[in-house]
């Protein structure tokens, strides 16, 4: 699987080459911290630039669907309502997609594997963290980082 590991935060992404794609944005760790609802202006600016040349959706595995819907509504981006969680490629059945799908997210085990299963591209960004993120979230991020290093070592994920 090809992962474009940018090693930058979402708001630092160079998105000029992303054109005529269906872009699926993760929320937690990608657009904001897992414990926040507010999206920073510099993040919204990148989302607006993506919208100019692409179809953009938000999808999150967070079990608080109301929070995810509120965040999507606050930045006026469609939220994918699907009974599935990433990495399940059936999520694509709930959107109008172009031939190129790009998943932008901070986690390999959800966003990266979703991209692999959906035959999409994954752009991996640095994770936004906050001091009040839950311990469960911190552990999940640690496990994800270890899985990503192992996948790279085994050449399952190539950058």
Residue 83 and residue 91: Cα distance in Å, rounded?
A: 8
What confidence tier does 51 reach under pLDDT thresholds 50, 70, 90? very high
- Secondary structure (3-state) at 123: strand
Q: Which two tokens stand for residue 141?
A: 């991020």
pLDDT at position 64 is 72
Domain boundaries, the chain: 3-153
Residue 98 confidence (pLDDT) above 90: no
Superfamily per CATH, domain 3-153: HAD superfamily/HAD-like (3.40.50.1000)
């Amino acid at each position: 699987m090809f992962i474009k590991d940018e090693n930058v935060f979402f708001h630092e992404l160079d998105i000029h080459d992303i054109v005529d794609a269906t872009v699926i944005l993760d929320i937690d760790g990608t657009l904001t911290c897992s414990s926040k609802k507010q999206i920073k202006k510099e993040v919204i600016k990148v989302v607006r630039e993506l919208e100019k040349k692409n179809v953009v959706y938000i999808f999150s595995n967070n079990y608080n669907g109301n929070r995810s819907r509120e965040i999507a509504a606050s930045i006026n981006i469609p939220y994918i309502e699907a009974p599935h969680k990433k990495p399940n490629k059936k999520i694509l059945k709930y959107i109008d997609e172009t031939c190129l799908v790009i998943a932008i997210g901070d986690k390999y085990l959800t966003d990266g594997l979703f991209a692999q299963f959906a035959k999409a591209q994954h752009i991996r960004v640095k994770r936004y963290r906050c001091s009040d993120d839950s311990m469960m979230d911190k552990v999940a991020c640690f496990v994800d980082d270890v899985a990503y290093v192992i996948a790279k070592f085994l050449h399952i994920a190539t950058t």
